[in-house]
Amino acid sequence: MENVQNLPPHQQQQFMQKLEQAQMTDSLTMYNNLVERCFEACSYSFRSKTLEKYETSCMENCASRYIKMAQRVGLRFQEHQAMQQQQQQPK
């Protein structure tokens, strides 16, 4: 991100727009994966318009676990990036 400050203003703006688009795409992909995974794991019948009690609790647990997993993966990725940056710095 430090190199972005060295770009001309119009290129900085373009870069930030592309970054925002990538973040939005990642967020939507994560949301769609969460919905698909939890629906397949928790929805068993289609007898009524509403979810059964066990389906509701399954969905809540599934979504909670998925979000915690995604946060943990993000944290590990940040740690990995920080380690790589440290290794690249001259000693």
**Domains parsed from the chain with CATH numbers:** 9-88 (1.10.287.810)
- Dihedral angle over CA of 75, 4, 85, 21, nearest 10: 30
Note the pLDDT of residue 71. Answer: 92
- Predicted TM-score (pTM) of the model is 0.68
Surface-to-core class of residue 38, CB atoms within 10 Å of its CB (0-12 exposed, 13-18 middle, 19+ buried): buried
Rounded Cα distance between 73 and 1, Å, is 21
pLDDT computed for residue 6 by the predictor: 75
Which residue positions in the chain have pLDDT lower than 50? none
pLDDT at 45: 82
Residue 24 in contact with residue 31, Cβ under 8 Å? no
pLDDT of residue 1: 55
